[in-house]
Amino acid sequence: MTPHTLHVKLRSAKRLDEAMTFRGLTNRGLAARTGIHRSTIAHWRSGRRTRAGYTDALKIAEALDMPTEHLFVPEPATGTLADRRAS
C-alpha cells in the first residue's frame, strides 16, 4: 500500500466472524465476493490483523450487506503525510 492509502481499523475480529457466519460465508466465500485473498480475511477474522485499506473495508461491508462503520473505524493519519499537513 502506498503512504497515501486511507486505512481503517477492524472494530473486532469477533464482529467480522459473526457477520460472516450470519451471511453463511467462509473465508473463501468472502474472498470470492471481494477479490481479497482468503488468507488476509483469515487474519482479520482471527484478530492477527486489524488494519485494512479503506477500499477493502468497503468491499467487505458491501459483500456482507452492512454499513462499513459496523465493522471498521477510521484510523488516525500518521507518518509523513500527516506531518506535511500539520505544517
Judge whether 60 and 34 are in contact, CB under 8 Å.
yes
- Tell me if 16 sits within 8 A of 44, measured CB to CB: yes
**Banded pLDDT at 5 (limits 50, 70, 90):** confident
33-66, pLDDT tens digit by residue? 999 999 999 999 999 999 999 999 999 999 999 9
pTM value is: 0.80
Helices (H), 1-87: 13-23, 27-34, 38-46, 54-63, 68-71, 80-86
